[in-house]
C-alpha cells in the first residue's frame, strides 16, 4: 500500500512506520505528482490531506524578469519587422541614407515610449497597483509610426 503524508510518499514495502494520518494514493499518482513538480508546481496536501499540485508563486524578481523579457521581445519583433535584424535602428542616427536616419529618430522615440510604459506599469505595481498579465502588458505597449515614405 502507498500513502502520502505532508512530508512525502510512504510505501509499506519500504517504510516500516507510516504516520497514522497519511492518506492512500497509488504509485502512479505519486509519479504524476513528481512529474508535475518540474512544471513549476509543488506537491501540497489539500484540506483533507490528499496530495495535489499547486502553482509555485513567482518571486518579484521572476515577475520583473518576465516583464523585461516581454519588453525586449516586443522591441526585437518591431525592429525585425522593419528589417533590422542585428543592429537597432538608432545605430543609424546621423546616417547619410535618409530612410535609415528617419528610422533612427522614430526608433528612439518609440523605444523611449516602450521603456517609460514598462516602468510606469512596474512602478504602479510597487505602490499597490495591479500588474496586468504579460499578454495584456504587451497588448498595451506603444505602437511605432515609421515616418519615412519611400519615393520612386
Q: What is the mean pLDDT of residues 49-66?
A: 82
Task: Report the C-alpha gap between 11 and 4 in whole angstroms.
Answer: 9
Which band of pLDDT confidence, cut at 50, 70 and 90, is reported for residue 2?
A: low
Instruction: Give SS3 for 96.
Output: coil
Give the residue, 88 or 20, on which the prediction is more confident.
88
Inform me whether the pLDDT recorded for 103 exceeds 60.
Answer: yes
CA distances from 132 to 18, 82, 111 (A): 45, 28, 20
> What pLDDT score was predicted for residue 89?
97
Q: Are 45 and 29 in contact (CB under 8 A)?
A: no
Which pTM was predicted?
A: 0.67
Over the stretch 109-149, which tens digit does the pLDDT of each residue have? 999 999 999 999 988 888 888 888 899 999 999 999 999 98
Mean pLDDT for all residues in the chain: 86
Over the stretch 9-37, which tens digit does the pLDDT of each residue have? 667 677 777 777 777 777 788 778 878 87
Amino acid at each position: 500500500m502507498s500513502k502520502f503524508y505532508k512530508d512525502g510518499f510512504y510505501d509499506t514495502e519500504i517504510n516500516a512506520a507510516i504516520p497514522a494520518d497519511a492518506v492512500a494514493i497509488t504509485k502512479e499518482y505519486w509519479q504524476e505528482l513528481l512529474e508535475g513538480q518540474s512544471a513549476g508546481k509543488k506537491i501540497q496536501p489539500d484540506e483533507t490531506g490528499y496530495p495535489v499540485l499547486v502553482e509555485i508563486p513567482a518571486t518579484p524578481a521572476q515577475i520583473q524578469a518576465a516583464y523585461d523579457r516581454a519588453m525586449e521581445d516586443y522591441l526585437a519583433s518591431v525592429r525585425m519587422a522593419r528589417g533590422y535584424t542585428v543592429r537597432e535602428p538608432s545605430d543609424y542616427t546621423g546616417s547619410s541614407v535618409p530612410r535609415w536616419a528617419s528610422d533612427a529618430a522614430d526608433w528612439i522615440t518609440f523605444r523611449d515610449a516602450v521603456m517609460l510604459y514598462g516602468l510606469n506599469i512596474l512602478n504602479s505595481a510597487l505602490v499597490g497597483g495591479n500588474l496586468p498579465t504579460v499578454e495584456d502588458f504587451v497588448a498595451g505597449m506603444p505602437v511605432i509610426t515609421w515616418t519615412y515614405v519611400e519615393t520612386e
